[in-house]
Amino acid sequence: MWESLKGYIRPGSEEDGLVRQVDFSRLPRHVAVIMDGNGRWARQKGLARIEGHKAASRSVRETIETSARMGIRFLTLYAFSKENWKRPRREVIRLWAFLRDYLKKEGRALMENGLRLKVIGEKKGIPGPALKELERVERVTATNSGMTLVLALNYGGRAEIVEAVRKIVRGGRVRPQDLDEERFAGYLDTAGIPDPDLLIRTSGELRVSNFLLWQIAYTEIWITPVLWPDFRTYDLLRAVVDYQKRDRRFGDVHS
């Protein structure tokens, strides 16, 4: 995927130096991101919180494009948690409006570049205009074969696990002795998607915030103090380079 980065990464830049350290044969197949720090970014600049969310759109766009150009197959962005409904009503309304407008503008780019959109989380409760746009983009990109962009919306890891158990109980066709981890994973929102290899959290917070609790059992975690609106290609490349330096043993012992 080095070729797809030519013309995108400026020769001689810090990003160029990092790209030259990347082993493209050992990329993380799935990168997940907890996008944190929009409010703090705005507060530091004396702006309303909503301005932090506006500024974050560039980070989203750049992270998607860089990931796709690198050859990462799955990118999951934690965009709206179940806990986020606790925020001021005006802010919540604006967030869903931003999402709707973003998809209207960027949906065509996803299609033209062969990317596929998948939404995880509870769709019930998502405001109608935003849900309509989400389902439209999901539908038109469903057969694309490029990177899959997963948006976690109205999502909570515990709620996802509970809902998986409900599906099994309602189905009534799985005997207890036949239920193993692989079969259980098939009832999760992420069925058919590999577990994340790399989880990135911005803003320096040291918690997973109810995100992909089942799926990140052996995920490598990379924390950066950079607030999400300031997150750029340089930061993503740093995360990938660091990931490739780690010894992933999955509980085993390597001699």
Instruction: Report residue 4's pLDDT band, with 50, 70 and 90 as the boundaries.
Output: confident
247 part of the active site: no
Q: Indicate whether 238 pLDDT > 90.
A: yes
Examine residue 6 and state whether it is found in any structural domain, yes or no.
no
**Are 36 and 205 within 8 A, CB to CB?**
yes
Query: How does pLDDT run across 62-82, given as a tens digit for each residue?
Result: 999 999 999 999 999 999 999
% helix, strand, coil for the chain, step of 5: 45, 15, 40
Reduced to 3 states (helix: H, G, I; strand: E, B; else coil), residue 98 is helix
Which one of the listed residues 36, 189, 197, 235 is annotated catalytic? 36
Q: Which of the following is catalytic: 16, 84, 144, 195? A: 84
**3 SS3 class:** helix
84 catalytic residue (yes or no): yes
Residue 20 belongs to some domain of the structure: no
Predicted local distance difference test score (pLDDT) of residue 254: 59
179 inside domain: no
Tell me, what CATH number does 209's domain have?
Answer: 3.40.1180.10
- Which residues constitute the domain of residue 117? 25-156+197-243
Question: Looking at residues 145-172, what average pLDDT do you find?
Answer: 97
> Is 166 within a domain?
no
Domain count, the chain: 1
| Distance, CA of 146 to CA of 106 (rounded, Å) | 16
Within-domain flag for 54: yes
Residue 89: predicted pLDDT: 94
Sign of CA dihedral 226, 232, 234, 236: positive
pLDDT tier at 3 (50, 70, 90 boundaries)?
confident
What is the model's pTM?
A: 0.95
Mean pLDDT of the chain: 95
Asked whether residue 10 is domain-assigned, the answer is no
Asked, for residue 125, whether it belongs to a domain, the answer is yes
